[in-house]
């Protein structure tokens, strides 16, 4: 694809992919029903009570990470790769049965402050916000979050498109959007918006994805800047965030006399 960096990797075998897909489809359907019931019966299980770190400040850069089937391990690896000095806020939306455990799993792997996303929360530098199961996330222009129980868009809740679209509209060129493994095409529309508004757009290489349809749909928009296997993808995300920091530092330097 013109204008994008594209690195190959070893593919997953077709028989392994078919068996995994059948098992995960069954587990996904049952788990999503259980999650919806649990949230409706006890929404407090996804409330955040932890205080933000001292000296925390509103984020000026936002990293959105979107995924579905097969994206759990890539998400954990990506967030684990972010250093304690990370100046971006991170918003994560995942389709699938693992969502209810995602905060606990990330806390074990990440040096950043991890919490469930909540309405009216202000995006804070160095914090990771996980979208609760069966809720949409909207990023507002004032950097505050809104959770919504609106209908699925069109098949999904959370909608990856809603998260990426609203993040792009609010952070514009200071937005890094990543699409990982998953089924169908959620997130592709949001990638178009992020690209149009000047954000950095990246996708997991489809041949390195357990489920390639979602990253491939994002790539098919011709709006993905880099298409990479996981370790180079993690490095590219860190470079993109560091580039914003370098620009900010340059602007703060006094003009030479």
- Domain residue limits, the chain: 25-41+56-249
Q: Quick one: pLDDT at residue 150?
A: 83
Residue 90: burial class (beta carbons within 10 Å; 0-12, 13-18, 19+): buried
Which helix (H) or strand (E) covers residue 227, if one does?
A: strand 226-228
Residue 252 has phi, psi (to 5 degrees) of -85, -15
Residue 242: CB atoms within 10 Å: 15
Q: Quick one: pLDDT at residue 134?
A: 86
Residue 206: CB atoms within 10 Å: 19
Torsion of CA 135, 138, 139, 141, to 10 degrees: -150
The Cα–Cα gap between 198 and 174 comes to 8
The Cα–Cα gap between 113 and 182 comes to 26
Q: Which residues of the chain, if any, have pLDDT below 70? A: 1-5, 7-8, 10-55, 253-257
Cis peptide before 154 (omega within 30 of 0): yes
DSSP string, 63-75: EEEEE-TT-HHHH
The Cα–Cα gap between 110 and 123 comes to 18
Q: Quick one: pLDDT at residue 24?
A: 57
DSSP secondary structure code for residue 155 in this structure: S
Does domain 25-41+56-249 fall under CATH 3.30.470.20? My reply is no
Helix, strand, coil % over all residues of the chain, rounded to 5? 45, 20, 40
Which helix (H) or strand (E) covers residue 114, if one does?
A: strand 113-116
DSSP secondary structure code for residue 100 in this structure: G
Residue 222: CB atoms within 10 Å: 13
65 Cβ contact partners less than 8 Å away, ≥ 6 residues apart: 75, 78, 79, 90, 91, 92, 93, 178, 180
Integer-rounded Cα Rg, in Å, for the chain is 18
For the four alpha carbons of 199, 77, 230 and 65, in that order, the dihedral sign comes to negative
Residue 60: burial class (beta carbons within 10 Å; 0-12, 13-18, 19+): middle
């Amino acid at each position: 694809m013109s204008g994008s960096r594209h690195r190959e990797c070893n593919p997953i075998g077709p028989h392994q992919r078919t068996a995994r897909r059948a098992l995960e489809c069954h587990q996904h359907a049952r788990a999503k029903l259980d999650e919806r019931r649990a949230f409706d019966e006890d929404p407090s299980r996804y409330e955040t009570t932890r205080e933000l770190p001292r000296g925390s400040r509103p984020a000026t850069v936002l990293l959105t990470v979107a995924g579905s089937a097969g994206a759990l391990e890539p998400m954990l690896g990506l967030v684990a790769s972010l250093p304690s000095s990370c100046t971006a806020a991170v918003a994560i939306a995942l389709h699938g049965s693992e969502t209810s455990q995602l905060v606990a799993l990330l806390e074990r792997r990440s040096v950043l402050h991890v919490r469930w996303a909540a309405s009216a929360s202000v995006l804070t530098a160095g914090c990771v916000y996980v979208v609760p199961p069966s809720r949409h996330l909207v990023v507002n222009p004032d950097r505050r979050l809104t959770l919504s129980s609106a209908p699925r868009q069109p098949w999904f809740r959370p909608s990856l498109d809603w998260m990426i679209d609203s993040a792009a509209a609010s952070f514009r060129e200071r937005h890094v959007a990543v699409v990982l493994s998953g089924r169908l095409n959620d997130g592709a529309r949001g990638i178009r918006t992020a690209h149009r508004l000047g954000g950095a757009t990246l996708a997991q290489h489809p041949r390195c994805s357990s489920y390639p349809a979602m990253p491939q749909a994002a790539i098919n928009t011709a709006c993905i800047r880099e298409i990479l296997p996981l370790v180079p993808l993690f490095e590219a995300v860190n470079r993109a965030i560091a580039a914003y920091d370098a620009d900010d530092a340059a602007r703060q330097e006094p003009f030479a006399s």
